[in-house]
Amino acid sequence: MRKNIGMKNIVLTGFMGTGKSEVSRELSRVLGWKVIDIDTEIEKSQRMKITEIFKQFGEPKFRDIEAEMIKTLSKNKNVVISTGGGVVLRQENMDALRENGVIICLTATPETILKRTGNNNDRPLLQVEDPLKKIQEFLKFRMPYYAKADIMIDTENKTPFEIAEEIIEKVNK
């Protein structure tokens, strides 16, 4: 496998539970690049969990903080950037990330997403009575945004290593 992916960052987008965090760690290991997790950086800068930001300030304020963070962090070179699932909703985020990066959208079925996120209370958007229905609604709404990625990768029944290999192969083409 060639690891010569040029000077572009690899930016992982996709709905929660599609594997962005695990795949970014695997890409980091394989490429020897640093991982920048946007949500982690937001929590550090705000000194609070994302669930708390949502609770105290609401989603619009969180999206503003996220956009500022992306503007700053997307200027890095030779890094793997793992984004939150809603990053794609703002074109300014996509433009900033694409400037130095190749945008990869990871996908999975609603059932797989629920299985991967089901026991996690750190998912403020899924704290509802019927999380599967909510996931389906979100995916339907966000799919046109996710489709703007440079490359789409289905994560169903694949290990993070297999997904990382597939990403590197497609980025090298």
Tell whether 109 is covered by a domain. yes
Tell whether 3 is covered by a domain. no
Residues 80, 34 contacting (CB under 8 angstroms)? yes
Tell whether 4 is covered by a domain. no
Q: For the segment 86-106, what is each residue's pLDDT rounded down to a tens digit?
A: 899 999 999 999 999 999 999
User: What is the C-alpha to C-alpha distance for residues 31 and 80, in angstroms, rounded to an integer?
Assistant: 9
Instruction: Please give the pLDDT value at position 1.
Output: 42
Q: How many domains, the chain? A: 1
* Mean pLDDT of the chain, nearest integer: 90
Percent of the chain with pLDDT over 70: 91
Tell whether 166 is covered by a domain. yes
In this prediction, residue 126 has a pLDDT band, given cuts at 50, 70 and 90, of: low
Residues 13, 149 contacting (CB under 8 angstroms)? yes
Q: For the segment 26-84, what is each residue's pLDDT rounded down to a tens digit?
A: 999 999 999 999 999 999 999 999 889 988 999 899 999 999 999 999 999 999 999 98
> Residue 89: which domain range?
9-172
User: What is the C-alpha to C-alpha distance for residues 67 and 75, in angstroms, rounded to an integer?
Assistant: 13
Instruction: Please give the pLDDT value at position 47.
Output: 96
Q: H helices then E strands: how many in the chain?
A: 8, 5
Kindly report the CATH number assigned to the domain that includes residue 41: 3.40.50.300
User: What is the C-alpha to C-alpha distance for residues 5 and 140, in angstroms, rounded to an integer?
Assistant: 32
Burial group, residue 19, by CB count within 10 angstroms (0-12, 13-18, 19+): buried
Burial group, residue 17, by CB count within 10 angstroms (0-12, 13-18, 19+): buried
Tell whether 128 is covered by a domain. yes
Pairing of strands 79-82, 9-14: parallel
**Quick one: DSSP state of residue 33?**
P
Tell whether 148 is covered by a domain. yes
In this prediction, residue 107 has a pLDDT band, given cuts at 50, 70 and 90, of: very high
**Cross-strand pairs, 11:** 81, 103
Tell whether 41 is covered by a domain. yes
Tell whether 1 is covered by a domain. no
In this prediction, residue 2 has a pLDDT band, given cuts at 50, 70 and 90, of: very low
Burial group, residue 91, by CB count within 10 angstroms (0-12, 13-18, 19+): exposed
pTM of the model: 0.90
Residue 132 pLDDT exceeds 60: yes
